[in-house]
Chain A
């Protein structure tokens, strides 16, 4: 074992003291917060889907009414030639 490893081992022993007891409320609070996080994500995801559907419907309605692919009728008559 090198000197470096021995030094690290010494510090490792200093860190490895007995573990504290975790209060049961901590797990309960963490789970509650985790559930809130999940719910918030779910709401955001649903909101995103709703927005997407609304946008698609709005586009379809607009396209059906305006029909932008139809060329507008020409107002000007072609020039008269050969008179």
Chain B
């Protein structure tokens, strides 16, 4: 019994490490977009991701075919949304100037490609509200950072 449990724990640790090695960069990028942190400083994003990954690790044996990436993204979203009420919007980062909710919706919708209905269900908002917030955030991004947009286009021809 003890031997079997130890073997299961080792396997879980190995699979988890491989998962973080493969998906960690993308998840950390998403977390940094949410917290609005610029390149070398990602303390808040790393804290957020560590907490989300810990929950994924704890649920690893009960995933039953669910994608651990989706699970971690859900944890990340829930944690970020939970703290969304009593924090001021960040002024830095690509999404600087947007509200936390707008940033969350933009990252989920455009960066992660999550469907509107799924976002609405996860945030407890009507779908129309999610679409409206997304449209507003896209408009704000395009008017806020035309220079940044051009820079990105020049960098990637």
Contacts and interface: CB of A to CB of B under 8 A. Distances in A.
A35 B57 contact: yes
Contact of A34 (B57, B111, B148): B57
A11 B110 contact: yes
B153 interface: yes
Given A11-B142, A14-B148, A15-B94, A26 B57 contact: no
Given A8-B138, A31-B17, A14 B94 contact: yes
Nearest to B46: A26
Contacts of A35: 57-58
A52 to B, nearest CB: 22
A interface bracket (residues with beta carbon within 8 Å of B): 20 to 34
Contacts, number: 104
A16 B110 CA distance: 9
Q: Interface majority SS on B: helix, strand, loop or mixed?
A: helix
A27 B53 contact: yes
Contacts of A34: 16, 53-58, 60
Interface of B: 13, 16-17, 20-21, 24-26, 28-29, 32-33, 39, 42, 46, 49-51, 53-58, 60, 94-95, 106-107, 110-111, 135, 138-139, 141-142, 145, 148-149, 152-153, 156
12 contacts: A11-B106, A17-B94, A20-B25, A21-B25, A27-B20, A30-B49, A30-B50, A30-B51, A30-B53, A34-B16, A37-B55, A37-B57
